[in-house]
């Protein structure tokens, strides 16, 4: 189904409700530059690290597309767990898992409070940016402490530049991309307003510094397009 969420005047801040869940896969493909390519890189590293009997958590799994793609390529008996706090997203995820006969656990959960088992891989696709900065670092610490030694945390985030002119140009470049995907300027501005104070991005440097201060020995960018980046952090 095509994303038409912001063709009408907004009445509330952005949330992952039934309306968004119904068009979310289309929204991702048209709103996140090179989303498919960043996901392929994520799949590559996740599959390399997932061991027999190991566990991977996808935080903010939405409709479980990433987990389904990994499940198709998985060669061993590892456990895939998707967590989300949107029942609307999880409903879509369960339907997809059932349709493909995929043995994937998708659960309603608060990722800040969830009791994680020791895992090989954590993934977070554009999820940290929706967590208040005051508690974001606590979550990353929890992820680090729940990983095996040399386990990995792969996360994608919208990023900012602290150079005002460059940051403005990066946003303009992104809006050009969205218009090329068929979004009108009205839709773009409507979504920007809905996300105000809901999505709080860090810079590339701030994300790396956060990971290292939370127990990871190394963190770097493995994919970037303008103001969208995918990071890998190694415990």
Which pLDDT score is estimated for 14?
A: 45
Q: Write down the pLDDT at residue 79.
A: 98
**In this structure, are strands 105-108 and 55-59 parallel, antiparallel, or unpaired?**
unpaired
* Close Cβ partners of 124 (under 8 Å, ≥ 6 residues apart): 58, 59, 60, 153, 154, 155, 156
Q: Shortest CA distance to 189 belongs to which of 205, 201, 171, 207?
A: 171
Selected residue with higher pLDDT from 75 and 7: 75
Three-state DSSP state, 232:
strand
Average pLDDT for the chain: 90
Per the DSSP assignment, residues forming a β-bridge with 219 are: 233
Phi-psi region of 150 (alpha: psi -120 to 50; beta: other; left: phi over 0): left
Domain boundary assignment for the chain: 8-234
- For residue 76, pLDDT over 90 is answered with yes
Give me the residues paired with residue 121 across strands: 56, 152
Distance CA 212, CA 152 (A): 13
The verdict on domain 8-234 having CATH code 3.40.50.2300 is: no
Q: Which of 19-23, 63-67, 87-91, 180-184 is predicted with the least confidence, judged by mean pLDDT?
A: 19-23
Is residue 59 within 8 A of residue 153, CB to CB? The reply is no
Mean pLDDT of 48-53: 96
Burial 32-59 (b: 16+ CB within 10 A, else e): bbbbeebbebbbebbbebbeeebbbbbb
Chain Cα centroid distance, residue 149: 23
Higher pLDDT pick, 193 / 89: 89
pLDDT in tens, 159-186: 999 999 999 999 999 999 999 988 888 8
Q: Which helix (H) or strand (E) holds 200?
A: none
Q: pLDDT exceeding 90 applies to what percent of the chain?
A: 76
């Amino acid at each position: 189904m095509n994303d038409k969420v912001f063709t009408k005047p907004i009445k509330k801040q952005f949330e992952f409700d039934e309306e968004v869940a119904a068009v979310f896969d289309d929204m991702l493909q048209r709103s996140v530059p090179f989303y498919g390519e960043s996901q392929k890189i994520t799949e590559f590293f996740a599959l390399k690290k997932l061991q027999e009997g190991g566990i991977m958590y996808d935080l903010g799994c939405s409709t479980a597309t990433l987990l389904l793609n990994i499940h198709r390529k998985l060669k061993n008996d590892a456990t895939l767990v998707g967590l989300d706090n949107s029942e609307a997203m999880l409903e879509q995820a369960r339907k997809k898992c059932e349709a493909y006969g995929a043995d994937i656990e998708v659960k309603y959960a608060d990722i800040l409070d969830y009791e994680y088992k020791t895992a090989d891989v954590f993934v977070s696709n554009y999820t940290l940016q929706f967590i208040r900065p005051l508690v974001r670092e606590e979550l990353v610490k929890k992820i680090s402490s729940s990983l095996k030694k040399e386990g990995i945390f792969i996360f994608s985030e919208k990023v900012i530049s602290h150079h005002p002119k460059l940051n403005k140009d990066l946003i303009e470049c992104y809006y050009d991309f969205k218009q090329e995907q068929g979004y009108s300027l009205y839709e773009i501005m409507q979504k920007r307003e809905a996300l105000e104070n809901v999505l709080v991005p860090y810079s590339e440097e701030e994300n790396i510094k956060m990971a290292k201060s939370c127990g990871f020995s190394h963190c770097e960018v493995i994919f970037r397009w303008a103001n969208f980046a995918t990071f890998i952090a190694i415990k």
